[in-house]
Structure 1
Amino acid sequence: MEQLTIGDYTVTWLRGGVVHLDGGAMFGVVPKPLWSKKYPVNDKNQIELRCDPILIQGNGKNMLIEAGIGNDRFTDKQKRNFGITEESFVDEDLRALGMTTADIDEVIMTHMHYDHAAGLVKAVDGEEVPAFENAVIYLSDTEWEETKNPNLRSANTYWKQNWKPVEHKVETFQDERMPVPGIIQQKTGGHSNGMCIVTIEQHDNMLIHMADNMGTHAHQPVLWVTAYDDYPVDSIAAKQKYMDIGCNNEAWFTFYHDYKYRAIQLNSAGDIQASLEKQR
C-alpha cells in the first residue's frame, strides 16, 4: 500500500474498487485528441477510474476520505454499464495494517455520488448496515440535503441504498470543519453543490485533496472539468484557488480516482516535480 507522511499524519491508500467511465464525459468539452494524450482510453472509449479510499492516521484518530464502491452493491447490469472490473478490498487492506472496519473513527465524504458512497454500506445476515460500524460520516449540509432530495439530474447518482442505512451515522456542517489539528474539510461546491475539498497542513507540509474537482492528474488544466459536474464554473473557481495555493507551497495533490498516481507535487510552472505512483 502506498503511503505519504504529512506532518503528524500518515496517509495510506486502500483498494476500494475500479470503474470505467466514458472518457468524453470525464473530460467534458475537451476534444479526445487532447485528453487521450494524457490519460489512456480503451476501445470502448472508457477510462479506468479507481475508487480508492484514503486512510489518514494521526492525533489518535483513524479517518477515511471516501468509502469506495463496496462489495455486492451493484447489479450485473450496473457492473456492465459502469465498467466495474474490481470491487472493494478495503477490509483486506485494513487487516494488513492490523486494523478492522471497527477501528475507523470517521469517514470524510467529499460528496455522496455512488462511486464514492456505495462502500458506506454492507450486508450482514441479509440486512444492510454501516460498513464502518463505529464511524461518524461527515459531509456538508448542502450535500446531505441533495443526497436525500436529488433533482432530476442528480437522482442518477444519489442512490437511497447508499445513504438510508447510514443516515443515523451522518453529521453535517455548514462551511468547514477541523476534525483534528491541521486537517480541514471545506465546502467549495463544483462537481456537486455541496462538494468538499480536504486539506492537511502541518510542519511546512501540505496536502490538497480536491476529489472530483480535479479527479485525475490529467484534469490539471483549470478548464478541464467533467460533464458530470453540476456546477462547472464553481469547479473551475475551486481549482484555480487551490492549484495556486498548492503550486506555490509544494503541496501534494492527492487522488481517489487516478489510475496511475496516488499523489503529485507541482512546481510553480505546473509541472510534476515529484509523484507517488500506484504499485502495480
Structure 2
Amino acid sequence: MKLGNFKMHYLNGGITNIDGGAMFGVVPKVLWTKKYEISEDNRIPLPTHPILIQTEEFNIIIDTGIGKEKLTDKERKIFGVNYESQIEEDLKSFNLETQDIDYVLMTHLHFDHASGLTDNEGHAVFENAIHVIQQDEWHEFNSPNIRSKSTYWKKNNGDFTKKLILFENQLEVVSGIHIYHTGGHSYGHSIITIESKGEKAVHMGDIFPTIAHKNPLWVTAYDDYPMQSIREKERIIPRFILEDYWFLYYHDVNYFAVKFNQTESNEIAQYITRN
C-alpha cells in the first residue's frame, strides 16, 4: 500500500484463535457472528500482522507478533496458535533484514503484540531499532497486576531496553508519524497516525482490532478499561472518517486497510484485503 511517499506492508506475525465471546465482550453472539467468522468451537481467527512502514529515510515496524518458539505447547493450545511469526522471511521479500529496522512502535505490550520483541535468550529481534513505548504501559509490563500478569510476560523483555524511548501523551517519532496515548484496552494503550503528501492513515491497535469492532460499544472482554475504550472510539473514529483516513488493522482476518464513507451509514468505501 502506498500512502503519499510512504510504503506500508503487513507482515505475518503468526496467528491466534481466540474465544469469540472474549473478543466481543457483552455483545450478544447473535449480533457479532453476523460480522466475523467463527469456528465450531466458538473461536475466531485473529492473525497478528505487524505493519512495516517505509519512509524516505526509515524502516518502521508497528508491533511484533507472537514471535518464534516463544510460546509453550500449553500456550499454543490455549491461544489456538496454528503457525508462528514469519516476519524475517517477509522482510526478505522487501530486501530487508531485522537489523534494517530503525524504529519499533508498540501500541501495547500484550503477548500477541510483544512476543516478537525478543528471542528466547532475551536479545532484541530488531537489534538496531529504537523502541517506542508509552511510559505507563512500560511500567505495567514490568510490574503487572493480578489480572495483567497473564498477558505481560517476562520472557518478552530483553536487551531492547538499551534503545528505548518512553513517552507520556504523544510523540512525533519521525516526520509524519505520531504515536498517541489512549488507554482503554490497557492503561498505556496507544494509537499511531501516519501522514504523507496529504494522505493519512491510523492504526488504532486493540481498541479497534477488527472492522467488526467499529461500533464504539463493541469492546473486548480483554479491555482493562472498557469505558475508556468507548470514550476514545466515540470521539476519534468519526473524526478520522471525516478527515479521510485509512484505518489499518493488526488482527482482522480479511482486511489490511479500510476507508469508510462519510455518509450516516459509514459503509466501507475502499479497502485492501489480505492475500
In the TM superposition, what whole-angstrom CA distance separates every residue of 1:133-188 from its partner, at most 9, and x where no partner exists?
Answer: 11111111011011101111111110011024433332201111111111110011
Deviation of 1:120 after TM superposition, in Å, equals: 0.6
> Which residue among 262, 269, 272 is the counterpart of 1:273?
269
* Match in the other structure for 1:43: 40
2:255 is the counterpart of 1:261 = yes
* Match in the other structure for 1:70: 67
> Which residue among 204, 207, 210 is the counterpart of 1:210?
204
2:127 is the counterpart of 1:133 = yes
Task: Please give the secondary structure, in 1, of the residue aligned with 2:104.
Answer: strand
**C-alpha distance in 2, partners of 1:169/1:117?**
16
Q: Percent identity?
A: 43
For residue 28 of structure 2, what is the amino acid of its counterpart?
Answer: P
**C-alpha distance in 2, partners of 1:246/1:217?**
14
Deviation of 1:202 after TM superposition, in Å, equals: 2.9
**C-alpha distance in 2, partners of 1:212/1:254?**
11
For residue 34 of structure 1, what is the amino acid of its counterpart?
Answer: L
Runs of 4+ in 1 over 2 A off after TM superposition: 164-170, 201-204
Task: Please give the secondary structure, in 2, of the residue aligned with 1:12.
Answer: strand
Count of aligned positions: 273
2:151 is the counterpart of 1:154 = no
**C-alpha distance in 2, partners of 1:180/1:171?**
13
* Match in the other structure for 1:171: 165
Tell me the TM-score normalised to structure 1 length: 0.95
> Which residue among 244, 249, 253 is the counterpart of 1:250?
244
**C-alpha distance in 2, partners of 1:168/1:47?**
37
**C-alpha distance in 2, partners of 1:163/1:106?**
17
Task: Please give the secondary structure, in 1, of the residue aligned with 2:119.
Answer: strand
For residue 278 of structure 1, what is the amino acid of its counterpart?
Answer: R
Identify which range, 160-169 or 185-194, moves more after superposition: 160-169
For residue 248 of structure 1, what is the amino acid of its counterpart?
Answer: L
**C-alpha distance in 2, partners of 1:252/1:185?**
16
Pairwise CA RMSD of aligned residues? 1.0
For residue 31 of structure 2, what is the amino acid of its counterpart?
Answer: L
For residue 271 of structure 2, what is the amino acid of its counterpart?
Answer: S
Task: Please give the secondary structure, in 2, of the residue aligned with 1:223.
Answer: coil
**C-alpha distance in 2, partners of 1:231/1:164?**
27
In the TM superposition, what whole-angstrom CA distance separates every residue of 1:206-234 from its partner, at most 9, and x where no partner exists?
Answer: 10110101000100111000000001111
Task: Please give the secondary structure, in 1, of the residue aligned with 2:222.
Answer: coil
